[in-house]
Amino acid sequence: MPDLDRTQFIMLLGANPHASNGSLCTAPDFPGRLDRIQARGGKVVVVDPRRSETAERADEHVAIRPATDAHLLAGIAHTMLAEGIARPDNVAAHCNGLDRLPELLAPYTPEAVALACGISADTVRRLARELVAAPCAAVYGRIGTCTQEFGTLASWLVDVVNILSGNLDREGGAMFTKGAVGQPSSKGKPGSGKGFRMGRQVSRVGKHLEALGEFPVTALPEEIETAGAGQVRVLVTNGGNPVSSNANSNRLAKALESLGFMVSIDPYINETTRHADVILPPPSSLQKSHYDLALYNFAVHNVANYSPAILPLEVGPDGERQPDEWEIILRLASVLEGNGAHTDPNDTVRAGARAMLESAARDEFGTVHGRNVDEMEAMLGDASGPERMLDVMLRTGPYGDAFGTRPDGLSLDVLRANPHGVDLGELEAGRIPNLLRTSSGRVEVVPDMILTDLPRLEASLQRDWDSSMVLIGRRHVRSNNSWMHNIRVLTKGRNRCTMQIHPEDAARLGITDGAPARVASRTGEVVVAAEITDGIRPGVVSIPHGFGQDLPGVRLRVASEYRGVNTNVLTDEYFVDPLSGNIALNGVPVSVGPA
Question: Is 52 exposed, middle or buried, given 0-12, 13-18 or 19+ CB atoms closer than 10 A?
Answer: buried
Task: Report yes or no: 571 and 248 within 8 Å, Cβ to Cβ.
Answer: yes
Are 108 and 37 within one domain? yes
How far is the C-alpha of 247 from the C-alpha of 344, rounded, in Å? 39
Are 443 and 590 within one domain? no
pTM for the structure as a whole: 0.95
Task: Report yes or no: 454 and 447 within 8 Å, Cβ to Cβ.
Answer: no
Of the candidates 426, 457, 488, which is a domain's last residue?
Answer: 457
3-state secondary structure of 209: strand
The span from the first CA to the last CA of the chain, in angstroms, equals 44
Domain-located, residue 409: no
Q: Can you give the residue range of the structural domain that contains 111?
A: 9-178+439-457
How far is the C-alpha of 170 from the C-alpha of 164, rounded, in Å? 13
SS3 of 77-111: the string is HHHHHHCCCCCCHHHHCCEECHHHHHHHCCCCCHH
Domain count, the chain: 2
Nearest Cα residue to 48 out of 128, 120, 142, 132: 142
Residue 133 exposure: Cα atoms within 13 Å on the Cβ side:
9
Domain-located, residue 544: yes
Residue 96 has a pLDDT of 96
Who contacts 210 (Cβ-Cβ below 8 Å, separation ≥6)? Answer: 198, 199, 200, 201, 202, 203
* Range 475-479 contact pairs with CB under 8 angstroms and sequence separation of 24 or more: 475/16, 475/19, 475/20, 475/544, 475/545, 476/19, 476/544, 477/18, 477/19, 477/20, 477/53, 479/544, 479/546, 479/547
How far does Cα 440 stand from its chain's mean position?
Answer: 28
Domain-located, residue 250: no
Residue 55 exposure: Cα atoms within 13 Å on the Cβ side:
17
Domain-located, residue 575: yes
Of the candidates 430, 457, 484, which is a domain's last residue?
Answer: 457
Are 585 and 526 within one domain? yes
Domain-located, residue 110: yes
Are 453 and 552 within one domain? no
Nearest Cα residue to 547 out of 532, 533, 561, 531: 561
Are 65 and 161 within one domain? yes
How far is the C-alpha of 20 from the C-alpha of 480, rounded, in Å? 7
Cα distances from 344 to residues 264, 330, 336, 351, 387, in angstroms, run 21, 9, 15, 12, 16
Residue 297 has a pLDDT of 94
DSSP state of 392: H
Residue 484 has a pLDDT of 80
How far is the C-alpha of 563 from the C-alpha of 429, rounded, in Å? 48
Nearest Cα residue to 366 out of 123, 563, 552, 184: 184
Per-run averaged pLDDT (10 residues), the chain, 595 residues: 96 92 84 95 97 96 97 98 96 96 98 97 98 97 92 97 97 96 89 87 93 91 96 95 92 96 95 96 95 94 96 93 95 91 92 97 96 97 94 97 96 97 96 92 94 97 92 85 81 88 98 97 96 97 90 87 88 93 93 97
Domain-located, residue 97: yes
**Backbone dihedral angles phi then psi of residue 123, each to the nearest 5 degrees:** -65, -40
Task: Report yes or no: 337 and 374 within 8 Å, Cβ to Cβ.
Answer: no
Are 453 and 575 within one domain? no
Question: Is 434 exposed, middle or buried, given 0-12, 13-18 or 19+ CB atoms closer than 10 A?
Answer: middle
SS3 of 135-198: the string is CCCEEEECHHHHCCCCHHHHHHHHHHHHHHCCCECCCCCECCCCCCCCCHHHCCCCCCCCCCCE
The CATH number for 115's domain is 3.40.228.10
How far is the C-alpha of 143 from the C-alpha of 586, rounded, in Å? 10
Amino acid, res. 183 = Q
Question: What is the 3-state composition of the chain as percent helix, strand, coil, each rounded to the nearest 5?
Answer: 35, 15, 50
Are 452 and 495 within one domain? no
Domain-located, residue 66: yes
Are 168 and 25 within one domain? yes
Of the candidates 457, 487, 517, which is a domain's last residue?
Answer: 457
Who contacts 154 (Cβ-Cβ below 8 Å, separation ≥6)? Answer: 13, 14, 69, 70, 73, 141, 145, 146, 148
**Backbone dihedral angles phi then psi of residue 524, each to the nearest 5 degrees:** 175, -170
Are 43 and 168 within one domain? yes
Domain-located, residue 279: no
Residue 341 has a pLDDT of 82
Residue 25 has a pLDDT of 86
Residue 485 has a pLDDT of 81
Task: Report yes or no: 491 and 478 within 8 Å, Cβ to Cβ.
Answer: yes
DSSP 315-374: B-TTSPBPPPHHHHHHHHHHHHTTS-S-S-HHHHHHHHHHHHHHHHHH-TTSTTTT--HH
Who contacts 574 (Cβ-Cβ below 8 Å, separation ≥6)? Answer: none
Are 447 and 484 within one domain? no
How far does Cα 29 stand from its chain's mean position?
Answer: 19
The CATH number for 481's domain is 2.40.40.20
Are 554 and 453 within one domain? no
How far is the C-alpha of 182 from the C-alpha of 491, rounded, in Å? 36
Task: Report yes or no: 49 and 63 within 8 Å, Cβ to Cβ.
Answer: yes
Are 18 and 149 within one domain? yes
Who contacts 404 (Cβ-Cβ below 8 Å, separation ≥6)? Answer: 379
